[in-house]
Structure formats: C-alpha cells, structure tokens
Amino acid sequence: MNYFIAIKDNLSQIFAVVEKDLKLHTRFKLPVIMSIISPILSFILPLVIMGQIFTFNENFGPWTAQNFAVYILTAYQINIVVKIRGRFPSQFATEKVWKTLYAIIIAPFNRRNLVFGIYFTHMIINAVPFTIFFILSLIILPISILSIISLFIFYFFIALIFSGIGLFLGALAISKPSLTPLVNLGISIIYIFSCLSYPFEFFPENFQAFVIFDPFYYLFDFIRVIWIYDDIFLSIVTHPFHVFLIVGGAVILPLIGLWIFNFIFNKYGIIGY
Amino acid sequence: MISDSNIVETFDLTKIYKLKGKKGKIKALDNINISIKEGEIFGLLGPNGAGKTTMIQILTTAIQPTSGYAIIDGFNILKKPLKAKSRIALMLGREMIYYRITGYDNLKFFCKIYKIPNYKEKIYNMAEQFGLENWLDQYVEKYSSGMKMKLALCRTLLLNRKLLLLDEPSLGLDVKLKKYLIEKLKNVDSTIILTSHDMSFVEKLCDRIGFINEGKIIKIGTKEDITKAMQSKIQFEISINHKINELKKDLCNQNYIKEIYESSHGLMVTIESRKYFKNLLSVLGNYDVLTLKEQELTLEDLFINLI
C-alpha cells in the first residue's frame, strides 16, 4: 500500500513540475508559435541543397534521392529529442536568477522527479514539430507499427541519455557557469562527427575514423537503421553494439548525471545569486 | 507555546569560503552552537556579511557546512537531509515565487511538491486571511511589493512545517503591513527563525535574539537578558535651566562617566554601571535639574554596542 502511495506522490510531484513549466512556457504565446514554425521552415533548405548531391552520385550507402528526405527528417526528430540537453542548463540558469530553483532544491522531494518533470515538459513542448516530422517521414518511407513503436522506445532512450548529459550541464550552470562553454564545445565537436545531418558516406575517409569513435553516431544511426530495415529484430541482431550503447546509456547516464548534479551542487551550492 | 525540547541544535557549525586567487579563506560561520526550542520565535541579527544567510542556507541543506552539523527535529542535516528538509519551510523575502504564473498556480505547485493534501481549500482559506483571494488568478508580476510578500508568506505558511525560516520577512513593507505580519507570525504554531535588519520588527516579534557578527554568535538571549547583561552602560538625559557648561565640566572630572555630549533635549550622560548612579545624583544636586530621564536601550543601541 505504501508503495502505491509513494508512486502516487512521485507522479503528483512530476506532474506539478510539468504543469508549472508548461504554464511558464506558454506565458507568452508568440514565442510558442514561433518555436513550432521555426524548425519546420528550417527543414526545407537543407533538403533542397542536400538533394542536389545525388546528381553527382546515385546513392550514398542506403540513401538515395528518393529516401534522403527521411534522413533529413530523422535528423530533425533526433535534434528535437536531444535538445533536452540544453533545457536543463537553461532552465536551471533562469530559475537560479529567479531564486525559485532554491525553493525546489530545498523541498523534500527527490531530485529525480525534477528530472522527469523537465523531461516530460520537453516532450510535450516539442510534440507538435516532432509529430509533423515523424508523419512526413512516414509518408515518404512508410514502416510497420512495430517499427514505429520501436522508434518511440529508442527515442525515449536517447532522450534519457541526453537528460543525463543535460543534468551535468545543469549542475555546471548552477555551480560552475564558467565551465559551461568549454563543455558545450566538447559536445559540439562530438556532434560534428555524429552523422546527425550528413550520412557517414559523405565524410572523407580520413574523417570516417572520427565518426567510428563517436558514441553519438551509434545512437543516431540506429534510428535510421530501424527506418531503413523496417524490421526491429533484424536491426537489433545486426547492430548489437548500437543497442548496447543506447540501452546502457539510457540506464547509466541519467543516474550518473543525477549523481554528478548532487555532487557538484552539494560541493558548490548555487553560485552567482 | 514554547516547549522544553529543542527543534534546532547546531554543533560547532563552521563554514569556510575560499576566496578567489590566493586571497585566502573567509570564515562565514565560526563554531556556531545554538539551540532553539520548539514554538520559539528566534531572531538572528547581524550586519551585512555577518553569516545570517549562510546559517539559513546550511539549515535548509542548500549548502553544506565545512565542519560541524545541525540537528533539526531530531534529524542530522548531513545524514538525513530529506527528513530534515521535510520539517522546514523557507521564505526569502518576496523571492522564491514565479512571477510569470498566477498566485494560485504558485501556491498549487509548492503544495504539490510538499505533498499538502486538500490544497485547493487551504490555498483559498490562506489567501482570504491575507486579503489575496481576488488576486489569486492574476499573474504575480502584476502584484505590488506588499502583495508579493504576502504571497510568499502564504506559501511558507501553507506548507505547514514545524520550522519556518524567514529571511528578511519585513523588507520593503509599510508600517501597517509590518504590524499585520507581526500579528500573523505571533499566532503561528511553528517555530520561527528569522533574520532581519528591522530592529523594531524583531523586538516586537521575537522571544529570543541572537547577535551574529563575523560568523560568531556574540550574544544570545531575550531582549531583557541582553539589556541586563549590558547594564554596564546606562545613559541618562539631563535637562537643566542654566550652567550647562559648568555641569558638563564637573561631570567630565568624574571617572565613572563614559560619555557626555549635548543633544537637542539636554545633556546625554553615559555612566559605566548602575552602582555609580548615586555619585551622579550627588553631582546633580548642585544644579537646578529640570528632568532626569534614563534612556532605555533599544535593540538598535544593543546592536551598535555589540558589533
């Protein structure tokens, strides 16, 4: 019975964070509308330019002029999901100034609920552009229901991984803001070789070695693999390392992120305000 | 009602901040040992940078002490921070509220994360007590300073904790609101620890006062205790018809006189101890004294004398 009460209490706290964050987010309507329109508009230009590449070469790996739009669309879907990494530091930095972060930190509730609250808020806020990109991908390259469900599960895992990274960045935003640009630079470099926006085959051979050592590449590539294979079992069997990284990362990184957050926060507290 | 049991105890609480570069360290708190009884209203007074906020931050578990520890309602803040936190509600002036959502949404959010049951009814009741019922559905950014303060206090009281930590609760409030706040806080069942620069506010509200300076508690007790302890300095206001300069000269020759100066009301004389009062009277007997008034030491005087 106590177990159910604990679950109810935790869910209530998570939803409280979500409700509050959504109300703060929708306080001014125009930025909300723009946050939906902007990614959709920004998708068109890369598609046009990158589409031209297939006039020089018929295909790059599995990607052809016919399905390349899916590559670009999944890049936008992934980008929306991994943007959660930036939500933690930006929200923590804002609430640090408002001094409301202090109120939350000293409340007798598990900081894990705060993480889930921010996580779900991000998902809800970005649900519209994500759904649009997802439906467009489905129209261009239809896949089975099982693949769609699998994709959502793996997107969920990827979001968890980036929540862990976000928590680490969030802790820096509170306690060591001067280090944030340095860490962001490191992450940006990893992004460059992650094949998020360009297929592996686009990279010159010398640079492909960097891609192979880039952990983000395996996270993002698996989403494309599911889409191209349209067979989740085959995708898993042929890409076990990808799956291992995603599932392992989804379990470990949020825990490490929370541990680092607690460690940095306990050591340095809220610095600057 | 003040009980015999302590709700807060600190044991050699010390906090050291490292200064940037090679400028050394600063002791924000230096071996603080205090105990506060359940139901008590305790005022922590001190100049800027004395260590008041550090003390509050440690008690709320927002920062950790360099050494020492505190027990809150039986729970060590270092070993059982969640349990200790569950006893505390903090008010940081009119901070810690979201200006971009409504007053009701603010209170609802905090009630939910503090697991307050039947919060809706409680929010409206509390808002009614503070005259905020018609403002609950408005964005907080539209509130006046006093209303924000009231909302912050509503939030703190709604959480229904055993220990309320109030940092500068009277900051920016007008006289009427201050009086109102004193009445409200006096009727709260919880133990209150407050910091303030407003001496009259603290004097009217607190059962006990602690003076803190440079991280050390330099005096602790009721206002009467502290005044008594400082009876070594007693100030009188003397007004006489004439010969004021002669009296001044006469008094200057007495070695028990600590201070003497003229004010708009007459001559202000400070003697070292009450035992010299008779000596003072014998000097005054030679003059045509109109009034002799003992100046009651205000908290402000005590504060200035102590730091």
Q: Which two tokens stand for residue B205?
A: 């509200």
In a domain, A199, yes or no: yes
Partners of residue B213 on adjacent β-strands: B216
Q: Rounded distance, CA B60 to CA B74, Å?
A: 14
Q: Are A108 and B82 in contact (CB < 8 Å)?
A: yes
> Is the predicted pLDDT of residue B278 greater than 70, yes or no?
yes
In a domain, A46, yes or no: yes
Task: Enter the ipTM.
Answer: 0.82
Final residue in a domain of this structure, among B162, B193, B228: B228
Tally of domains in chain A: 1
In a domain, A262, yes or no: yes
DSSP H or E run through A47? helix A29-51
Mean pLDDT, to the nearest integer, of B71-93?
A: 90
Question: What pLDDT does B232 receive?
Answer: 61
Q: Are residues B237 and B155 part of one domain? A: no
Tally of domains in chain B: 2
Question: What pLDDT does B43 receive?
Answer: 92
Residue among B61, B85, B109 whose CB faces A20 most closely: B109
In a domain, A209, yes or no: yes
Q: Are residues B240 and B216 part of one domain? A: no
CATH of the domain at B269: 3.30.70.920
Residue among B64, B100, B113 whose CB faces A13 most closely: B113
Condensed to tens digits (0 to 9), the pLDDT of residues A148-167 reads 999 999 999 999 999 999 99
Confidence of residue A260 (pLDDT cuts 50, 70, 90): confident
Question: What pLDDT does A208 receive?
Answer: 86
Between A9-13, B81-85, B232-236, the lowest mean confidence (pLDDT) is in B232-236
**Closest Cα of chain B to A81: distance in Å?**
26
DSSP reduced 3-state for B307: coil
In a domain, B212, yes or no: yes
Percent of chain B with pLDDT over 70: 93
* Cβ–Cβ contact A16 with B under 8 A: yes
Residue among B100, B114, B139 whose CB faces A107 most closely: B114
Q: Are residues B114 and B97 part of one domain? A: yes
* Cβ–Cβ contact B57 with A under 8 A: yes
Q: Are residues B187 and B150 part of one domain? A: yes
CATH of the domain at B110: 3.40.50.300
* Cβ–Cβ contact B171 with A under 8 A: no
Final residue in a domain of this structure, among B228, B256, B286: B228
Q: Are A103 and B96 in contact (CB < 8 Å)?
A: yes
In a domain, B251, yes or no: yes
Q: Are residues B265 and B161 part of one domain? A: no
Question: What pLDDT does B230 receive?
Answer: 61
Question: What pLDDT does B101 receive?
Answer: 94
In a domain, A126, yes or no: yes
CB A174 within 8 A of CB A96: yes
* Cβ–Cβ contact B85 with A under 8 A: yes
In a domain, B85, yes or no: yes
Residue among B85, B97, B101 whose CB faces A23 most closely: B101
Mean pLDDT, to the nearest integer, of A224-232?
A: 92
In a domain, A198, yes or no: yes
Side-chain-facing half-sphere of A206: CA atoms under 13 Å: 0
Confidence of residue B59 (pLDDT cuts 50, 70, 90): very high
Question: What mean pLDDT is reported for chain B?
Answer: 87
Q: Are residues B235 and B222 part of one domain? A: no
DSSP reduced 3-state for B50: coil
Q: Are residues B291 and B166 part of one domain? A: no
Q: Are A108 and B114 in contact (CB < 8 Å)?
A: yes
In a domain, A273, yes or no: no
Q: Which long-range contacts (CB under 8 A, 24 or more apart) does B217-223 make?
A: B217/B32, B217/B33, B217/B34, B218/B306, B218/B307, B219/B302, B219/B306, B220/B34, B223/B299, B223/B302
Q: Rounded distance, CA B83 to CA B74, Å?
A: 9
The amino acid sitting at B231 is: Q
Chosen from B15, B83, B115 to mutate, greatest number of chain A CBs within 10 A: B115
Question: What pLDDT does A129 receive?
Answer: 87
Handedness of CA A9, A10, A12, A17 (dihedral sign): positive
Q: Are residues B239 and B135 part of one domain? A: no
Question: What pLDDT does A262 receive?
Answer: 81
Final residue in a domain of this structure, among B168, B196, B228: B228
Mean pLDDT, to the nearest integer, of B79-86?
A: 89
A187 against A201, higher pLDDT: A187
Chosen from B55, B97, B109 to mutate, greatest number of chain A CBs within 10 A: B109
For residue B149, give its domain range.
6-228
For residue A74, give its domain range.
2-268
Show residues of chain A in contact with B105, CB under 8 Å: 19-20, 23
Question: What pLDDT does A92 receive?
Answer: 87
Mean pLDDT, to the nearest integer, of B81-91?
A: 90
Q: Are A27 and B100 in contact (CB < 8 Å)?
A: yes
In a domain, B1, yes or no: no
Residues 6+ apart with CB under 8 A from B20: none
> Is the predicted pLDDT of residue A175 greater than 60, yes or no?
yes
CB B163 within 8 A of CB B191: yes
Q: Are residues B99 and B40 part of one domain? A: yes
Q: Are residues B296 and B151 part of one domain? A: no
In a domain, A118, yes or no: yes
* Cβ–Cβ contact B114 with A under 8 A: yes
Chosen from A25, A26, A100, A174 to mutate, greatest number of chain B CBs within 10 A: A100
Q: Are residues B291 and B159 part of one domain? A: no
Q: Are residues B196 and B47 part of one domain? A: yes
In a domain, B268, yes or no: yes
> Is the predicted pLDDT of residue A242 greater than 80, yes or no?
yes
Show residues of chain B in contact with A27, CB under 8 Å: 100-101, 139
Condensed to tens digits (0 to 9), the pLDDT of residues A6-50 reads 888 889 999 999 999 999 988 888 888 887 788 777 777 777 777
